[in-house]
Amino acid sequence: MSEHRSSIALVDVNNFYVSSERAFDPSLEGRPLVVLSNNDGCVITRSPEAKALGISMGTPWFRIAGQARDWGLEVRSSNYELYGDLSARVMELLGRYTGNLEIYSIDEAFLTLSGPLDAQHRTGTEIRAVVRRHVGLPVCVGIAPTKTLAKLANRWAKGNPGFDGVCHWDLVPEEHRRSLLQRLAVSDIWGVGARNAQRLNAIGIDSAWDLAAADPVGIRKRFSVVLMRTVLELQGTSCITGHESTGNEQVLYSRSFATPVTTRDAMHQALSTYAQGAASRLARKSLQGRVITAFAATSPFSTGPRSAPTVCVPLPAHTANPLELTRAADRLLPLVEEGVPYIRAGVVVTDLRPAGAQALLPVDGSAPKDTGLLLHDVGRRFGRSAIGLGHAGLKAGSDWTMKRDMLSPHYTTKWSELPVVKAR
Amino acid sequence: MRMDGSGASGAAPRRPMGSTEGGSLLPSGYASPAQDWFEDRIDLNRHLIKDITSTFIVRVSGDAMEGAGISDGDELIVDRALRPRDGSVVIAVLDGELVIRRLRIAPSGVLLVAAHTAYEPIPVPDPDHLVIWGVATRCLHHV
Ligand SMILES: [Mg+2]
């Protein structure tokens, strides 16, 4: 008899941006490919082939642009419209496997799984196959009693072909788990920052194994409640719940309803409240987000109609503006079905960065241009209404602040840019 | 395993079109008799898309499928989740390109055949390594 226990699965898309580009352009398969950050600034995703070339995360594009052709390196600007659409498809699929989906970032979500452990593992394998078949994206699944361990299991599933993309912590032999933990630096554990890692090293705690063996109360006294929770989670006690896991990677605002919401109007109100809640959390942390995901779900135990609509909306620019976030979250409403009892809804803001971290006008690494010339350039490229000064410019709300010279088509969101299939 | 993700169970009141009951029973001064016959407008997404998570629209370039009613410039609805079968119109990955052909699975071997006399069938010597990107379910032909 297999053991029954509720577990947490972390599903994470492998090299999400790179995989999204490849899903529509098979010629990129097997070739070194990098995707650049906003304004084509630096490398934010690398294919394994690009990693093998020695290109590191965060490399400024201008520094490697000269050699790209010699290396056979393919490069793309961030196609947030495409990534947002594929993300929403993945999240909707994941919602079919659990009543409790917590979207953690544009390409990661936690799911609660129940039943026998080997059945949980099979669900993980099925999720991997189904996401690949439906959306064309590779994912890895880590399953464990706690979120922190699920993160670790996911990492191992990714780095170790033997797992075939799915690692269930409880099904890994004890001695194998020990050696995995002993080889993992504390700095690589979810929620342990670089500063904590340094202080931990100073008292002789170097590996995940060391931290798992630490006394939680002692850690709370020397460090913080947050780090104590990490220790408990490493020991198998789940204590990071949805509402708390708002690190600096995402801001989640989600609630279960006391009475089910059955109308679009009521859902509209709920989403507005949550989007504003997320906006004030962002403001409090001096952060801005680039992508907002809104979702709603019916009860997994309901025998009636089930529905789990999700939208993922890339914003024109980083923002913490409650109005913009609310308007974006409202894009969920057309997918909300009248008369269906929703018990939960929420918004997640991801792709965060410190407020005011970016210049407003496009910067390309060369000498600063005369602003007038720049306005003229942008106006010519994107149409005159695309840019202006002060309010006139801000109200445009299009992506004029971003330089994206190597952008792939908006395959799934623009009728004029559909993928082309050859009848040859 | 697959569930229908697009099936809106509309709660809007529905009545069969042409039903005459109701009109004469309305109290005088009732705001809008028409609302009793309210019915959602036809939504092509509901009828043409089985699963929104796996459905993509693509555009055809070339005339090799002309004989199947699929012309240059037509749009296709493609479901990536469907299992390709003998006779399916598929999007296959050939030399890094998305190519549309009809899949033929015979004891003698697997072929990707065109629907135009000018194009030879493409033999698939190693079907295990054939990547089928998706299966076309509808053609939006420009008439
Ligand atoms: Mg990922």
Summarised one tens digit per residue, pLDDT across range A243-269 is 444 456 778 888 778 788 999 999 998
Cross-chain Cβ contact A133/B52 below 8 Å: no
Nearest to A423 among B10, B70, B96 (CB): B70
pLDDT computed for residue B29 by the predictor: 54
User: Per-residue pLDDT for A147 more than 90?
Assistant: yes
Q: What count of Cα atoms within 13 Å lies in the side-chain half-sphere of residue A291?
A: 24
User: Per-residue pLDDT for A150 more than 50?
Assistant: yes
In contact, A418 and B75? CB cutoff 8 Å: yes
User: How many angstroms is it from A88 CA to the middle of ligand 1?
Assistant: 14
pLDDT computed for residue B140 by the predictor: 97
In contact, A142 and A157? CB cutoff 8 Å: yes
Cross-chain Cβ contact B59/A338 below 8 Å: no
pLDDT for A14-51, tens place per residue?
A: 999 999 999 999 999 999 999 998 788 899 999 999 99
Chain B residues touching A130 at Cβ < 8 A: 1-2, 81
Nearest to A421 among B3, B52, B91 (CB): B91
User: How many angstroms is it from A106 CA to the middle of ligand 1?
Assistant: 8
Residue A356's pLDDT band (boundaries 50, 70, 90)?
low
Residue A145, classed as helix, strand or coil, is: coil
In contact, A343 and A257? CB cutoff 8 Å: yes
In contact, A292 and A329? CB cutoff 8 Å: yes
Residue A194's pLDDT band (boundaries 50, 70, 90)?
confident
Please state, for a pLDDT cut of 70, what percent of chain A lies above it: 86
φ, ψ (nearest 5 deg) of residue A118: -70, -30
User: Per-residue pLDDT for A100 more than 60?
Assistant: yes
Partner B, chain A 80-99, Cβ-Cβ below 8 Å: 89-90, 92-93, 96
Distance (Å, rounded) from C-alpha A269 to C-alpha B111? 55
Chain B residues touching A29 at Cβ < 8 A: 96
Chain A residues touching B3 at Cβ < 8 A: 96, 306
Whole-number CA gyration radius for chain B: 22
User: Per-residue pLDDT for A377 more than 80?
Assistant: no
pLDDT computed for residue A65 by the predictor: 92
Chain B residues touching A415 at Cβ < 8 A: 57
Cross-chain Cβ contact B54/A134 below 8 Å: yes
Residue B30's pLDDT band (boundaries 50, 70, 90)?
low
Partner B, chain A 381-410, Cβ-Cβ below 8 Å: none
User: How many angstroms is it from A13 CA to the middle of ligand 1?
Assistant: 4
Q: Residue B111 pairs with which residues in a beta bridge? A: B104, B123
Residue A165's pLDDT band (boundaries 50, 70, 90)?
very high
Residue A128 structure tokens: 């991997």
φ, ψ (nearest 5 deg) of residue A179: -70, -35
Q: What count of Cα atoms within 13 Å lies in the side-chain half-sphere of residue A185?
A: 8
Distance (Å, rounded) from C-alpha A274 to C-alpha A50? 39
Residue B3's pLDDT band (boundaries 50, 70, 90)?
very low
Can you state the percent helix, strand and coil of chain B, rounding each to 5?
A: 15, 30, 55
Q: CB under 8 Å, gap of 24 or more: what pairs does B107-113 form?
A: none
Residue A350's pLDDT band (boundaries 50, 70, 90)?
confident
User: Per-residue pLDDT for B125 more than 60?
Assistant: yes
Whole-number CA gyration radius for chain A: 22
pLDDT computed for residue B36 by the predictor: 65
User: Per-residue pLDDT for A386 more than 60?
Assistant: no
User: Per-residue pLDDT for A320 more than 50?
Assistant: yes
Residue B16's pLDDT band (boundaries 50, 70, 90)?
very low
User: How many angstroms is it from A140 CA to the middle of ligand 1?
Assistant: 9
**Region A148-154: what's the mean pLDDT?**
96
Least confident of A226-230, A341-345, A417-421: A341-345
User: How many angstroms is it from A252 CA to the middle of ligand 1?
Assistant: 18
Residue A4, classed as helix, strand or coil, is: strand
Whether the CB of A31 is below 8 Å from some CB of chain B: the reply is no
pLDDT computed for residue A303 by the predictor: 73
In contact, A298 and B5? CB cutoff 8 Å: no
Cα–Cα distances (Å) from A83 to A78, A353, B49, in that order, read: 8, 18, 21
Least confident of A231-235, A313-317, A345-349, B19-23: B19-23
Highest mean pLDDT among A172-181, A316-325, B56-65: B56-65
Whether the CB of A134 is below 8 Å from some CB of chain B: the reply is yes
Nearest to B9 among A25, A134, A337 (CB): A337
pLDDT for A58-93, tens place per residue?
A: 999 999 999 999 999 999 999 988 999 999 999 999
Please state, for a pLDDT cut of 90, what percent of chain A lies above it: 58
Crossing angle, helix A80-95 and helix A16-24, to 10 degrees? Answer: 100
Cross-chain Cβ contact A92/B5 below 8 Å: yes
pLDDT computed for residue A396 by the predictor: 35
Residue B32's pLDDT band (boundaries 50, 70, 90)?
low
All residues at 6 or more sequence positions from A281 whose CB lies less than 8 Å from its CB, including other chains: A246, A251, A253
Distance (Å, rounded) from C-alpha B143 to C-alpha B2? 34
User: Per-residue pLDDT for B2 more than 50?
Assistant: no
User: Per-residue pLDDT for A398 more than 50?
Assistant: no
Nearest to A26 among B65, B70, B98 (CB): B98
In contact, A39 and A78? CB cutoff 8 Å: no
Residue B33's pLDDT band (boundaries 50, 70, 90)?
low
Give the DSSP H/E element, type plus range, for residue B104: strand B97-106
Distance (Å, rounded) from C-alpha B101 to C-alpha B111? 9
Distance of CA A129 to the CA centre of its chain: 20
Residue A301's pLDDT band (boundaries 50, 70, 90)?
low
Cross-chain Cβ contact B54/A135 below 8 Å: yes
Give the amino acid at B51: D
**Region A50-57: what's the mean pLDDT?**
94
Give the amino acid at A20: S
User: Per-residue pLDDT for A2 more than 90?
Assistant: no
Least CA distance to B56: which residue of chain A?
A: A412
Nearest to B62 among A27, A415, A424 (CB): A424
Cross-chain Cβ contact B10/A339 below 8 Å: yes
User: Per-residue pLDDT for B12 more than 50?
Assistant: no
Give the amino acid at A214: A
- C-beta atoms surrounding A295 within 10 Å: 28
- C-beta atoms surrounding A174 within 10 Å: 6
Please state, for a pLDDT cut of 90, what percent of chain B lies above it: 69
**Region B49-64: what's the mean pLDDT?**
97
In contact, B77 and B28? CB cutoff 8 Å: no
The mean pLDDT value of chain B amounts to 82
In contact, A137 and A23? CB cutoff 8 Å: yes
Q: How many CB pairs under 8 A join A and B?
A: 102
Residue A359's pLDDT band (boundaries 50, 70, 90)?
very low
pLDDT computed for residue B31 by the predictor: 57
User: How many angstroms is it from A12 CA to the middle of ligand 1?
Assistant: 5
Mutate to test the interface with A, among B38, B49, B56, B102 (most CBs of A within 10 A): B56
Residue B10's pLDDT band (boundaries 50, 70, 90)?
very low
Cross-chain Cβ contact A337/B12 below 8 Å: no
pLDDT computed for residue B131 by the predictor: 96
Residue B5's pLDDT band (boundaries 50, 70, 90)?
very low
User: Per-residue pLDDT for A126 more than 80?
Assistant: yes
Taking alpha carbons only, the member of B125, B134, B123 closest to residue B98 is: B134
